[in-house]
Structure 1
Amino acid sequence: MTVLPIVKHPNEILTTPAQEVKSFDQKLATLLDDMYETMVAADGIGLAAPQVGISKRVAIVDLGEGQDIIEMINPEVVAIGGKEIEVEGCLSFPDLYGEVERPFYVKIEAEDRSGNLYELEAEDYEARAILHEIDHLNGILFTEKIIRYVSPEEFLEEEEEE
């Protein structure tokens, strides 16, 4: 597995909707594995293919704590509910944090690395991470949704409180 370079803002690939995945092959499996290695090396909880310079509808989320790694290929949001405001960051925007309003609940349909369709329901932090990554696939950046910017120090203080 390879740690890939993370694309930083500004870069056109980050604001361009990603292409649908049509080939579920070893190349896709390698991309998913490399994205996971890259995300872990960068201490992230999610990563979308455009963030490693690849315009494909592929994203991963891993909240750790014994939870399964979520691999989303061609994900679509089918339901949302509630709302909450929390602080977010992004690997493509080092040291930039802000409060973002997102749904508390999300239901998605996506394909796994073999092309099998699945549904997933998530709430709270997991839903937020999933929606953040799906936004990346649609060329939407979290900075477009920030209500209030937060300093890195304030972000770290909030992390320690949780």
Structure 2
Amino acid sequence: MFRTLAIAITLGGAGTALAAQDTGQIPFPEDYRSWHHHHSTVNLDGHEPAGNVGIQHVYADAAALEGLKSGKFAKGATFAVDRFAYSADGNHSLSQAARKVVAVMVKDDERYPETGGWGFQAFKGGDPNARAVTDGGIQCFSCHIPLADNDYLFTRGQ
């Protein structure tokens, strides 16, 4: 089925060793913009990681929306984060610019035990053929580790 790659790293000096997982089978979420739009945020300069600076829209499929309501995410629950660059104009406003990435999180405790039961993938520029996650989601998960009390999600509630 899906192989676990034999790569281990230590995150943030915390002594947590993780094995990279095969996230290459996470599909591009073709219809994600028809899912529930949970919220949008603007990450300004200084936001970490720096690659996440921009405007982002968070979408939840039906299973993820149910998980947000119940606090329990079923296998296959999926979030998509549509992240864009932004531009500022002379009128003190920000405008959405070029798409940077479509990031995806898929719940599957069996397939992704090393990353809190979530598989991570990202598609550069929103191109279904331009996969950005090559380390099994370890780098993505490193930012989610402090959110263990919320099933490793930045997103809360419905």
Q: TM-score range, shorter-chain basis?
A: under 0.3
User: With structure 1 as the length reference, what TM-score do the two structures score?
Assistant: 0.27
Bigger Rg over Cα: 2
Task: Give the strand-richer structure, 1 or 2.
Answer: 2
Which structure features the higher share of helix residues? 1
TM-score, normalised by the number of residues in structure 2? 0.27
